[in-house]
Amino acid sequence: MLSENMQAALNKQIRIEAESSQIYLAMASYAERKGLEGVSQFMYDASDEERQHLLKMFKYVNERGGFAKVSELSQPALEFGSIKEMFETLFKHEVFVSKSINELVHISLEEKDYATHNFLQWYVAEQIEEEAQARTILDKINLIGDDKGGLYLFDNDIKQLNVVSSVAPGV
Ligand code: FEO
């Protein structure tokens, strides 16, 4: 059985995962409107993946006798100054998500809730991959700079980059 405290913390994270999905959906729209088909597909996939993160945690809360809550969501940014700025925002957001997951792990240890601690390890590993992928993309974008041809090639390149583990196991 989840403690009230653990349940509230997990529900807060469920909201963050839902908002991540919205943020990336807005980024997909931005890239699509810029004519960057590869980047937009990457962001649509990233948005779907966040939905899987949400569902995995949502089902876990109910499975442990808790109450998985659907919350209101904040309006994400709809416009970005550039694709570079968009990916910088993405990277910062993933760093924020990692901190939030770490906080959950901390609470699970405080509560001696080892089942939740074990459950969260999947998210810990996922965040390492997501941050690494965002960093790789940013490195490439920084290499391109303002070169339009480079951006065109990058848009093709990113089609090969599958979003990290697009389906969360156990969903
Ligand atoms: Fe669900 Fe990208 O963190």
Give helix 37-63 / helix 148-157 axis angle, nearest 10°.
40
Q: Which atom of ligand 1 is nearest to the CA of 50?
A: 1
Q: Which atom of ligand 1 is nearest to the CA of 53?
A: 1
Domain ranges of the chain: 4-158
- The residue ranges of the chain whose pLDDT is under 50 are 166
Residue range 4-158 forms a domain whose CATH class is: mainly alpha
How far is 139 from 125, CA to CA, in rounded Å? 22
Quick one: tokens of 52? 């899987």
Residue 83 neighbours by CB under 8 Å, 6+ apart: 31, 34, 36, 39, 141, 151
In 5-149, DSSP assigns E strands to none
User: What's this model's pTM, rounded to 2 decimal places?
Assistant: 0.93
Q: Is 53 in the pocket of ligand 1 (CB under 6 A)?
A: yes
pLDDT digits 0-9 by tens, 76-100: 999 999 999 999 999 999 999 999 9
Q: Which atom of ligand 1 is nearest to the CA of 94?
A: 2
Q: Is 97 in the pocket of ligand 1 (CB under 6 A)?
A: yes
Q: Is 130 in the pocket of ligand 1 (CB under 6 A)?
A: yes
pLDDT score, position 147: 86
pLDDT score, position 160: 83
pLDDT score, position 146: 79
Alpha carbon of 53 to ligand 1 centroid (Å)? 7
